[in-house]
A and B are shown apart, each in its own frame.
Chain A
Amino acid sequence: MQNERLFKKIKDTAENASAVSGEWDPERIWAKVERRQKKQKFSLWRPYAAASVTLIIGLSLWFLSKYKENNLAVIKGSNLSKAIIKANAVGDSIDLQGSVSDNSHKKLTAHHDLRNKATHKAIRQMRAVTGNQNKDKTLAEDHVNAQVIDTAGYFAGAGNLIASVEKEEVMETNIPELPHDTLTPLLQMFEHAKRVREERKMIVRLDDKNRSMDLWLFDHAAFVEHHLVNEPKLFLQKR
């Protein structure tokens, strides 16, 4: 009972005591609360900012890789491209001679003309071989390619020969697709249809051959092909 009185007094005192009033500084605590709220606002924006930065970096990297892919497509298995590289090699030899003798503007221009001539010659030869298919389109593309190579060769003539040779092997090309490639899906479809037709024939043949055999009637294909609805009696009689 005495202890109950003691603890009641302790409770009342603890709830109402003002012994801590000297340490109480509301402004300091309020400043802490405000600081915490500001921090929270910033932390709300932070993930959005980080996400947008990541998105921008990702997009720029993607565009960069796309750009590189477009610019660094390696020439593969194209006769036209080989011919152009050959023409460039001719141009390079001329370029080498030119650079040994003199690096003047005149010679570089001459080299440029020679290179153009060699390239166009190679293109004409190729066109004669491949025929007139997609003539206009290929011509335009070839002109662009030739210009790219010429520009690279022009700068190579001014200084770095080795670098120019390396650069010239890498170029943008639109290799005309072979007719076989375009027909591949059609061929595949044709093959598939042919296979299906042959299978059907096989089933019919098998069906005709084994019509009298009971064992084949249990086969799924036999059921399908027999049209049991039309001749159920025959089936039952055989069983």
Chain B
Amino acid sequence: MITLAIIHEAQNKDVCAQRILFDCYGKVFFRLARRYISDPVKAEDAVAEAVYIIFQKMHTCHFIAVPPFEMWMKRIVVNECLKILKKEKRFEIMIETEEDPYYVDDATIENLSAEEIIKVIEELPAGYRTIFNLYEIEGYTHSEIAEMLGISPGTSKSQLSKAKSLLQKRIIELDPVYAKRKVV
């Protein structure tokens, strides 16, 4: 359990406190990084760099509670992931034609496993996946996403819409009933 005392000790460059923080949040950061970067080695690099930045910069901030500290750390991890994506030029805006919206029924939603969901998200193109993660999972606004990625809010909205559409399509394709119907 992380307390403010541990955070303050880590702010004073105490290695033990820093290690406790890493043990507590490292896995969360790695999971977060893997949602953006499909390559686990690069995700590790992003986490390592983010943790280093957190330890370097945390003495400049004053935290009065743990949740804001967690949000601050997650934002750093997300920024590092975006940096890596931009460096690799993998973040590309997809230009696709408008597709009809797909509707996933309740049974399909109920039957979806965690692995399937993660797999579907990982298989999304990097641009779609990034905007979907930022908006739907991290809770950023379109203007924030536009600022982070250097795009317009309108582009962010359209990319999110297309990402959702593709995601639903792929989830429907996972449904055995749909697959059977398609084969027939």
Interface size range on A against B: 20 to 34
Give the size of the chain B interface in residues (CB under 8 angstroms): 37
- Return A43 CB to nearest CB of chain B, in Å: 12
Contacts of B22 in A (CB 8 A): 26, 29-30, 33
Task: List A residues 1-40 near B (Cβ within 8 Å).
Answer: 2-3, 5-7, 9-11, 13-21, 23-26, 28-30, 32-33, 36-37, 40
The answer to whether A33 and B48 have CB atoms under 8 Å apart is yes
Contacts of A10 in B (CB 8 A): 117, 121, 136-137, 167
Closest A residue, CB atoms, query B101:
A3
Contacts of B19 in A (CB 8 A): 30
Contacts of A6 in B (CB 8 A): 104, 109, 168, 171
The answer to whether B164 and A3 have CB atoms under 8 Å apart is yes
How many Å lie between the Cα of A37 and that of B30 in the bound state?
19
The answer to whether B44 and A9 have CB atoms under 8 Å apart is no
Q: A5-B106, A36-B49 are in contact. Are A11 and B44 (CB under 8 A)?
A: no
Contacts of B98 in A (CB 8 A): none
A19 partner, pick from B115, B136, B164, beta carbons under 8 A: B115
B136 partner, pick from A7, A29, A37, beta carbons under 8 A: A7
Q: A9-B117, A11-B136, A30-B19 are in contact. Are A20 and B31 (CB under 8 A)?
A: yes
Closest A residue, CB atoms, query B120:
A10
Closest A residue, CB atoms, query B44:
A29
- Return B73 CB to nearest CB of chain A, in Å: 13
Contacts of A29 in B (CB 8 A): 22, 26, 30, 44, 47-48, 51
- Return B44 CB to nearest CB of chain A, in Å: 5
Closest B residue, CB atoms, query A10:
B117
Q: A2-B104, A32-B45, A36-B49 are in contact. Are A9 and B23 (CB under 8 A)?
A: no
The answer to whether A13 and B44 have CB atoms under 8 Å apart is no
Q: A32-B44, A33-B55 are in contact. Are A2 and B27 (CB under 8 A)?
A: no
- Return B169 CB to nearest CB of chain A, in Å: 12
Q: A19-B114, A19-B115, A20-B30 are in contact. Are A14 and B35 (CB under 8 A)?
A: yes
How many Å lie between the Cα of A20 and that of B52 in the bound state?
22
How many Å lie between the Cα of A20 and that of B40 in the bound state?
9
Contacts of A23 in B (CB 8 A): 30, 34, 40
The answer to whether A7 and B164 have CB atoms under 8 Å apart is yes
How many Å lie between the Cα of A36 and that of B171 in the bound state?
41
User: Could you mark each residue 4-23 of chain B with 1 if its beta carbon is under 8 Å from any beta carbon of chain A, else 0?
Assistant: 00000000000000010011
Closest B residue, CB atoms, query A22:
B40
The answer to whether B137 and A11 have CB atoms under 8 Å apart is yes
- Return B146 CB to nearest CB of chain A, in Å: 20
Contacts of A26 in B (CB 8 A): 22-23, 26-27
Contacts of B47 in A (CB 8 A): 29
- Return A233 CB to nearest CB of chain B, in Å: 79
- Return A8 CB to nearest CB of chain B, in Å: 9
Q: A13-B114, A26-B23, A30-B26 are in contact. List 14 more A-B contacts (CB 8 A).
A: A13-B117, A14-B117, A14-B118, A14-B137, A16-B114, A17-B117, A19-B118, A23-B30, A23-B34, A25-B44, A26-B26, A29-B22, A29-B48, A33-B48
Residues of chain B touching chain A, judged by Cβ–Cβ distance below 8 Å, are 19, 22-23, 26-27, 30-31, 34-35, 40, 44-45, 47-49, 51-52, 55-56, 103-106, 109, 112, 114-115, 117-118, 121, 133, 136-137, 164, 167-168, 171
> Would you mind naming 23 contact pairs between A and B with Cβ atoms under 8 Å apart?
A2-B103, A2-B104, A3-B168, A5-B109, A6-B168, A7-B136, A14-B117, A14-B118, A17-B31, A19-B118, A20-B31, A20-B40, A23-B40, A24-B30, A25-B44, A26-B22, A26-B23, A29-B47, A32-B44, A32-B48, A33-B51, A33-B52, A37-B52
State the 8 A-B residue pairs at the shortest beta-carbon distance, nearest first: A32-B48, A13-B117, A36-B52, A23-B40, A17-B114, A13-B114, A19-B118, A20-B34
